[in-house]
Amino acid sequence: MYCKYSMPDRFKEPSSEQLAGGRPPIRLLIADDHGLVRQGLRLQLEQYNDFQIVGEAPDGREAVRLAKDRKPDVVLMDIGMPLLNGIDAGRQILARQPGVAILFITGRSDEESILRALAAGARGYLLKESAQLDLHRAVEAVAQGHSFFSPAVARRLADEFVADLQRRGLVDSYELLTGREKEIFQLLAEGHSNKAVAEMLNLSQHTVETHRTRVQQKLDLHNAADMVRYAMKKKILL
């Protein structure tokens, strides 16, 4: 029988050591239905003064509730969870809090799970097998607005993109983009919103949206997941 999770009383305000670096720590929410996994992630992350864990959730519904209540910068979340799966939970969190970065940490390396996660708005996808090595870099990257993928996931996305091009008989048309379109394309592929790109480049949001439409037409890309895969294939995303 599933029992309601009781939140432990250990999520405190940042310490003086955490604030000593001149910037507030990155606020993290961990969501995984396995207590040992949450514990392992917490112990690994607590080694760094630039991270502050603000909550843990054992299911998707609790993750959505805690994200609203604790206002994390990054949600580290598994895909397979009870009551509400991680992908749908991530979608609900982003609908209410679009500035939150969703980093999936999962054992699923199949193409369908990866693409569903990207379509839901995930900024990163980390396999549990590489979490010990890549966790810190992944959290830092997505918190700064960049994308991060485990090497195996990156290779799968690139391979799938190349195979799709071959199936459709398409040629690479990246050089058809103007300099401004390439600039906007990279920022969008990194996960920045139209509004954020407009602010960074001192453009109107309408202008960014127009450029985005032209980029997608020229490259035959249909959604954000396509843009990320294309950018990784072109080595625009690291």
User: Residue 160, Cβ neighbours under 10 Å: how many?
Assistant: 15
**Digitized pLDDT (tens) for each residue of the chain, 238 residues in all:** 334 444 444 444 555 554 445 678 999 999 999 999 999 999 999 888 889 999 999 999 999 999 999 999 999 999 988 888 898 899 999 999 988 999 999 988 887 888 888 888 899 899 988 888 889 999 998 998 888 888 888 877 766 666 665 565 555 577 778 888 888 999 998 888 899 999 999 999 999 998 998 898 888 888 888 888 888 877 777 6
Domains and CATH numbers, the chain: 16-152 (3.40.50.2300), 164-233 (1.10.10.10)
Q: Which two tokens stand for residue 237?
A: 């995303």
Distance CA 162, CA 80 (A): 29
Cα 152-156-160 angle, rounded to 5 deg: 175
- 3-class SS at 108? coil
Report the pLDDT value the prediction gives residue 232, as an integer from 0 to 100. 84
Distance CA 211, CA 204 (A): 11
Report the pLDDT value the prediction gives residue 73, as an integer from 0 to 100. 95
Q: Are 49 and 25 in contact (CB under 8 A)?
A: yes
User: Residue 201, Cβ neighbours under 10 Å: how many?
Assistant: 15
